[in-house]
């Protein structure tokens, strides 16, 4: 996809060919890609008006908080920023969201969830990584769990998922675990993404405040977080 940058370094609007290309490479129609560009433009100009989503803008859009970040928000940002440039470009935004489309293959959703936990990029989920993610999610939610409860979540999950007994969960083991508990990735599918129109996507955006700030969530972060919450609940009570 072309790198449409103006002289002042601000990204310009994609061309019709850019929209067509993104639609051909994702599960969105051309009109849906155009609709999501309106969302992207809103988020990418909420703090720094350069046509890219910065970490602070992503944090604010997802969690209504631009001051504090944690492991969970950083991990989601990192997965969207797959070019590893420190910002999210429109093409990255669309391709990442495509995994959440109802028509996206289940393997795409499983892989995204797996990568969320694979903090060290080793191709495995280790117990310490799972524990770190659970603690990060608790930090973002109102749910309070003791350290013992967190340890139980981790131990129970590994008892069921670590089929090879080597102290780590690989992608194949993760797939089997998700097959056993499919509700784990229920929120890896956002039905709204199938109902987009070329009009302003009101399902994710709300009117801005009088001072021009984007005051609330633009992308439903809870849809991602519940995926992990559900898996944790299942791991404890199964």
**How confident is the model at residue 237, as a pLDDT?**
32
Q: What's the rounded Cα separation, in Å, for the pair 155 and 116?
A: 19
**How confident is the model at residue 66, as a pLDDT?**
57
Residue 218 has pLDDT above 60, yes or no: no
pLDDT digits (tens, 9 = 90+) for 86-123: 999 999 999 999 999 999 999 999 999 999 999 999 99
This prediction has a pTM of 0.76
**How confident is the model at residue 187, as a pLDDT?**
78
Per CATH, which fold does 16-237 belong to? Recoverin; domain 1 (1.10.238)
| Domain range summary for the chain, segments of one domain joined by + | 16-237
CA dihedral 101, 138, 58, 171 (to 10 degrees): -50
pLDDT digits (tens, 9 = 90+) for 19-70: 999 999 999 999 999 999 999 999 999 999 999 999 999 888 876 665 566 7
pLDDT above 70: percentage of residues in the chain = 74
Q: What's the rounded Cα separation, in Å, for the pair 29 and 205?
A: 20
Top pLDDT among 228 and 168 is at 168
């Amino acid at each position: 996809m072309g790198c449409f940058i103006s002289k002042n370094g601000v990204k310009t609007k994609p061309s019709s060919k850019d929209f067509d290309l993104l639609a051909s490479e994702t599960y969105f129609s051309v009109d849906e890609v155009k609709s999501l560009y309106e969302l992207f433009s809103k988020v990418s100009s909420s703090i720094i008006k350069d046509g890219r989503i910065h970490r602070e803008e992503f944090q604010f859009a997802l969690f209504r908080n631009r001051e504090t970040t944690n492991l969970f928000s950083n991990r989601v940002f990192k997965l969207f920023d797959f070019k590893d440039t420190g910002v999210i470009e429109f093409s990255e935004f669309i391709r990442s969201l495509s995994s959440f489309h109802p028509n996206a293959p289940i393997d795409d959703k499983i892989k995204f969830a797996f990568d969320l936990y694979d903090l060290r990029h080793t191709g495995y989920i280790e117990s310490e990584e799972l524990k770190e993610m659970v603690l990060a999610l608790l930090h973002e939610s109102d749910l309070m769990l003791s350290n013992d409860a967190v340890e139980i979540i981790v131990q129970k999950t590994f008892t069921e998922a670590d089929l090879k007994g080597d102290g780590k969960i690989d992608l194949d083991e993760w797939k089997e675990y998700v097959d056993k508990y499919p509700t784990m990735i229920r929120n890896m599918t956002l039905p709204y993404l199938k109902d987009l129109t070329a009009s302003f996507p009101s399902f994710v955006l709300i009117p801005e405040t009088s001072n021009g700030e984007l005051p609330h969530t633009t992308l439903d972060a809870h849809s991602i977080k519940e995926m992990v919450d559900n898996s944790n609940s299942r791991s404890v009570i199964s």
